[in-house]
Every structure is written in structure tokens, then in C-alpha cells.
A and B are shown apart, each in its own frame.
Chain A
Amino acid sequence: MLNFRKTDQAPLVSLNNTGVRRNGRWLVRGVEFSISRGEIVTLIGPNGSGKSTTAKAAIGVLKPDEGWVEKLPGLKVGYVPQKLAIDWTLPLTVERLMTLTGPLKGREVEEALHSTGIAHLARAEVQHLSGGEFQRALLARAIARKPDLLVLDEPVQGVDFSGEIALYDLIKSIRNRTGCGILLISHDLHVVMAETDTVICLNGHVCCRGTPQMVSQSPEYLKLFGSRAAQTLAVYSHDHDHTHLPDGRVRHADGSITQYCHPDDGHHHGDHAHDDHAHDHDHAGHVHGPDCGCGHKSRLQGFDNKERGRV
């Protein structure tokens, strides 16, 4: 496969020690990552871990209360928000939705609708679409404007499994064709796209990061899921050097307890940096609280082969 990461270019967007605070509480803190052209970055984490907040900070919708965000000047963003409710009183067809934030040529609209598989719904009112159809319409809208950076907040919510694979395939082909950077928020803790360059696990801060572990290349996986699914799905597993306590404090592997958890607090062992480590091996050595929820190996093993095998 081609390597789309070009480290010599300036990143499209980079977050530097970014934190967002609301009502005296840090939603996320100490977030550091960047997205380059052609790179796919996936954010995973439990509910309320600050995935959407981080994405919004990255595209400038939320102003960081700490740290800073650098964007390439004139960066063109395509955004699929997590929640979008369109009032019934607004008559809006799928076709009209496409040109919501900027003008497009008829051919561009057609292409985008076609590639997301909803060309037949061009004239339908958006309020009449099913959850999955609406999600495709939003994705079509975001890609039709040919963005430099595509930000997808749970783009496959409400989409059934085969549709999910098709959408991930589509996202991959968009990246390959246009070379845009993609920031993807996954609704699923342990299933991410194989093409993801960097997976970032959030839980109020960056828990850990790395390349997705390529279990999909193992012969057993191929046998179970078929080569098509193997190209699309990947499993990312990792370990932690700290535990999130119920009251929001953090217990570190060395036994100390702090209010927050971020890279510079002296309780970490260097693995928060950019070292792409695949670490599915040493789970015995660290503490996992029941509320940690960062995607554990046990959940991985619960992956239901029978249900998801037929693709």
C-alpha cells in the first residue's frame, strides 16, 4: 500500500497541549496530536471522554482554554457532526443539503451522492430519511466540497454492519483519491479502520496512542472474516499505566494519585509520546479499574465472530 504520510509537509492541524474547560471542569486536557495530508487519525474512548470536544477544538468550533491549535491557513474542512437535528418546518432535500455551506457544481453533488450510495434519494426530504441514510447524506455533503481535512464524528452511527464496512471502504477511497487528512471519531471502542495511521485513546486526556494492531493479517482472522472485511476492520488493543478512579482522580502505576492526568505530571513512563507501539502482550503488569473503559483486551476477545462473520 502507498504510504500517504508525508512528514516533510506542515500538518493540516496540530493540537499543542490543548485543554477545554466548561463550568470549572476540564473536558479534555493536555491533548497533543497533528493530522497531515493523507493521514487518518482515529479517536476512541468511552462516552464523555472528550472525543467530540477534541475534534471541535481541532477545527476551531471550540476555543481551547489551555494550549493552542495551529491550522494551516485557508484550511478547507468537511465536518459531519455527531448530532444534527433539522427542524421539520425546514423543507430541505438531500440535494439542497449538499450546498448548505458553499456552492457546488451539479456533477459534484451527483458524484458525492453516488459514492455514498444514495443517488436515488437526491429529491427526498432529509427528515424522511432513516438514520443510516441521513448519515450517508451528511457524509456525502462533507466530501462533496472536497475538503483538505475531513472530520467525521461517529460517521457510521445508525448504519448496519455491512453498511459500516461500505462506509469505511468509502472513507479509505476518499483518502486515497483526494489525499485529504481525516479525523475519525469511532463509536466503537475496539474496532477501527485498518487504514488508520494513528489511533488515539482519550479519557479526558490522551491515554495512549499508536498504530492499529494488524490482527486482520493473521490467517485465523482472514479465515473467519474473509479478505474484504480484513481490509476494513482492525482491532486496536493497548495497555495503560494508570487507573481512572470513580471520583475523577487518577491512580498511576507507581501508586500515586493525582487530580488530573497529563503527560508532564511526572507519573508517566514515556509511552505517551509518539512511539508507535503495538502492545498486546503485557496486560498482566498494569492496573485496570472497572471504570477505565479504554478498550480492554477482554472486550476484544468478546468480539462476536458468528454475528459479524458473514459479510
Chain B
Amino acid sequence: MFDDFFTRALIAGIGLAITVGPLGCFVIWRRMAYFGDTMAHSALLGVALSLLFNLNLMLSVFIVAAAVSLLLLLLQKRGALSTDALLGILSHSALSIGLVMVAFMTWVRIDLVGFLFGDILAVSEADIDLVWGGGILVLAAIVYLWRPLLASTVNAELAEAEGLQPERTRLYFMLLMALVIAIAMKIVGILLITSLLIIPAATARRFATSPEIMAMLASVIGALAVTGGLFGSLHFDTPSGPSIVVAAMGLFVLSLLPFGRKTQTETAIHSTHGGHH
């Protein structure tokens, strides 16, 4: 039952899940879910550009995702439209421009579904090297940037007043996001990357007592979801990317169940009665 392609998919998927866990925590702490989505959608523009100019796929996706996030920063500073509206414009424009460009390139045939929903069963050994190599790089950067990242998540002005550099940290964070999107595209696809960022992190929240524990738990839960989803897709012959997301959602629903812990009700009471400052 452990065919070669399946083992490769499992190794690549778990590597990716471990990488995105901590990043996903920052995405939900900073309320940047839609932002992650926008960067991911812009990946299709990266795909189109890579075909047009014969560039390395991952590199061109990384560059486009990073460029879109910088563009957003610039537009935010001008402050004419809300971030929400800007994201909506950038997200769907980038996706659509990508699709239109691909349609114009009649000389290439691409597997659009593969880009949108991922093709984890087709990963090669080289892909595995990229996922794990890139993953270690991303994790090392997050460990290095942990304090400024967390402090500027809590309050950017506080971080800046006390000698950290939230602007620069934010830039690094966006580059890391772009890198992860470039790596993840092949595995879960453009449309599902954000779910792998957010769902394991949201699941981890209930069990976490500190930001560090939440980041590690998100990695573990993501790895569980990848494993469950891949076995499910093999068993039921379902598409692998969506199956992973369904498995992640299943774990999230499980985490909502009140299995006999008193603290759960206490937390619920506290959170409904405010405590937000």
C-alpha cells in the first residue's frame, strides 16, 4: 500500500505542515487570513509569468507574491481605501490576470486544476528537498525573529518604542509568507494554501497556554491533518489537496467539542463577558 509516490507525498506534506504551523499562528493573531489568501491567489500570476518568460516556477511565484504584498503596503500607506477592499481588489485581479494570460498563451498547455488544488501525489524527490530545505530556512528565520514578531503582533508602537523594528519585521514576515506560498503551491494548490495556514493554528488555540506552544501544536496538528487527508484520499479515491483540508477541518471540529474539561466552560464564560481591552 505504501507506493513510492505515496511516501513522497507524505514526507513532503508533513514537511510543509510543520513549516506553516507557526506562520499560520501569526496569520490569525495578526488577523491576516485574507491577506494570506491574496498572496496565494497572486501565485497564479506568478505561474503565468514563469511560462511567459521561461523562469523557474517557484522563483517567479515567490517574486509575484512578495511584490503583491509590497504593493499592498504602499496602498495602505496612502490610506484611500480600507485594507479589506484593497485585498479584495488585489486578490482577484492577480488571479484573473494570471488566468487571462494563461489563456492567451495558446502554445502552452497547463494543468490549471493542478495549480489551483495542488498535486501532492506528483511530488518528486527534488520537490521534497525543496520543501524540507525551504521549511528549515523558514523555521530558522521564525525562531530568529520570534521576539520582534510577537512583540509587534501585540503592539507595533510598543515594539518600536522599546527598540525593536516592527516595520522591518513585517517585511521579513511577508517574504517568509511568499516563500511558503511558493513551496506550498504544488502540494495543496493556490486556493487551499490559506486553509493549511489557518485551520491547524485555530485548532491549536484551545490547547495552547503560550504563543510558543501554540506554534508547535499548530505544526503537529497540521502534520496529523496531512497524514489523515492523504490516507483518506487513497482510501476513498478523492483529490488529495481538498482531502487534507477536510481532515484539518475535522480536527478543528473535534477541538470544539467540550470533552469533559472544566476550563473550557470557564474560558467560554470569560470570553463572552469581555476582557478585551
Contacts and interface: CB of A to CB of B under 8 A. Distances in A.
Interface string A63-86: 000000000000011110101111
Nearest to A22: B79
A140 to B, nearest CB: 14
Interface residues of B, number: 31
Contacts of B210: 91-93, 96
A245 interface: no
Given A81-B155, A101-B151, A89 B29 contact: yes
A145 interface: yes
B77 interface: no
21 contacts: A56-B157, A60-B160, A76-B162, A77-B163, A79-B158, A79-B162, A84-B155, A85-B277, A89-B29, A89-B205, A90-B153, A91-B205, A91-B209, A92-B211, A100-B147, A101-B162, A127-B271, A127-B275, A130-B275, A134-B277, A151-B161
A289 interface: no
Interface in B246-262: none
A59 B153 contact: no
Interface in B184-206: 202, 205
B147 to A, nearest CB: 7
Interface of B: 28-31, 147, 150-151, 153-155, 157-164, 202, 205, 208-211, 213-214, 270-271, 275-277
A145 B155 CA distance: 17
A81 B157 contact: yes
A84 B161 contact: no
Nearest to B202: A89
Interface string A132-149: 001000000000010000
A254 interface: no
B160 A100 contact: no
A90 B29 contact: yes
B164 A101 contact: yes
A97 B276 CA distance: 15
A164 to B, nearest CB: 17
Contacts of A76: 162-163
Given A79-B162, A91-B210, A101-B162, A84 B154 contact: yes
Nearest to A62: B157
A246 interface: no
Contacts of B214: 91
Given A90-B153, A101-B159, A102-B162, A84 B29 contact: no
Interface residues of A, number: 33
Chain A CB within 10 Å — which of B151, B162, B211 has the most? B162
Given A93-B210, A129-B275, A87 B31 contact: yes
Contacts of A84: 154-155, 158, 277
A61 B157 contact: yes
Given A128-B270, A130-B275, 12 more contacts: A78-B162, A79-B157, A81-B161, A85-B276, A88-B271, A88-B276, A92-B210, A97-B154, A100-B151, A102-B147, A102-B163, A127-B275
A94 to B, nearest CB: 12
Nearest to A96: B210
B154 A61 contact: no
A128 B208 CA distance: 15
For the residues of B in contact with A, the DSSP-based class is helix
Contacts of B157: 56, 61, 79, 81
A131 B273 CA distance: 13
B158 A87 contact: no
A61 B150 contact: no
Contacts of A56: 157, 161
B30 to A, nearest CB: 8
B21 to A, nearest CB: 14
Contact of A91 (B153, B160, B208, B277): B208
Nearest to B150: A100
B161 A90 contact: no
Nearest to A134: B277
Contacts of A93: 209-210
B180 to A, nearest CB: 19
Contacts of A127: 270-271, 275-276
Given A87-B31, A89-B205, A145 B162 contact: yes
Contacts of A92: 154, 210-211
A81 B158 contact: yes
Chain A CB within 10 Å — which of B151, B157, B202, B277 has the most? B277
B219 to A, nearest CB: 16
Contact of A89 (B28, B147, B164): B28
A128 B263 CA distance: 13
Nearest to A123: B209
Nearest to A80: B158
B167 to A, nearest CB: 11
Nearest to A145: B162
A78 B276 CA distance: 23
B238 to A, nearest CB: 30
